[in-house]
Amino acid sequence: MFKLITHNRNKYLEMKKIIPSLEMLDMEYPEIQADTIEEVIDFALDHLGERIEGDFIIDDSGLFIHELNDFPGVYSAYIFKTLGNEGILKLLEGVDRRDATFKTVIGLRYKGENFKFIGVCYGKISREARGKYGFRYDPIFIREGYSRT
């Protein structure tokens, strides 16, 4: 049985559809300031691995806007809280190239070993926030091959 370490109940419910026996564990742990999401996950796996019995899953994600030197990147959660989507759109005013990457790293602690799985979604930033559904940057991210956020 796996535990998902998260504060986000919706994330838990989404993952539970894939892993029906998944349990949610809402706990605080330090998140280091690092250059990559992979480093954040590596630290969290080691830190939590010393404190949690059994197998668990954690994840972290980031939006990387190429014209902004991959900002907000590893700081995506904090930047969303402080600037929001409107702040990101303001930073991109007058910018034609709006290519972006959304990256998720899932960390798995299984039988005392650490594993990482990386998912990348390519796209671009819209010129305005659109849509009523989604989470964080969804209203401004247009996935490659699509015309809607």
pLDDT, one tens digit per residue, over 63-82 is 999 999 999 999 998 999 99
108 lies in a domain? yes
| Active site annotation includes 60 | yes
Report which secondary-structure segment, H or E, holds 23.
Answer: strand 23-25
3-state secondary structure 85-146: HHHHHHHCCCCCCCEEEEEEEEEEEECCEEEEEEEEEEEEECCCCCCCCCCCCHHHEEECCC
128 lies in a domain? yes
Question: Which listed residue (35, 60, 70, 99) is catalytic?
Answer: 60
Residue-level pLDDT at 131: 78
Q: What is the dihedral of CA 140, 142, 147, 149, to 10 degrees?
A: -50
Mean pLDDT in the chain?
92
Number of domains in the chain: 1
135 lies in a domain? yes
Percentage of the chain beyond pLDDT 90 is: 77
pLDDT above 80: residue 134: no
100 lies in a domain? yes
Instruction: Print the domain residue range for 80.
Output: 2-143
Average pLDDT of the residues in 25-53: 92
Residue-level pLDDT at 30: 84
Average pLDDT of the residues in 78-101: 94
148 lies in a domain? no
CATH number of the domain within which 84 lies: 3.90.950.10
Distances (CA, A) of 35 to 5, 38, 47, 54: 22, 9, 18, 29
pLDDT, one tens digit per residue, over 96-133 is 999 999 999 999 999 999 999 999 999 999 998 887 77
97 lies in a domain? yes
Considering the entire predicted model, what is its pTM?
0.88
Report which secondary-structure segment, H or E, holds 39.
Answer: helix 37-49
130 lies in a domain? yes
Q: Which two tokens mark 109?
A: 């602690």
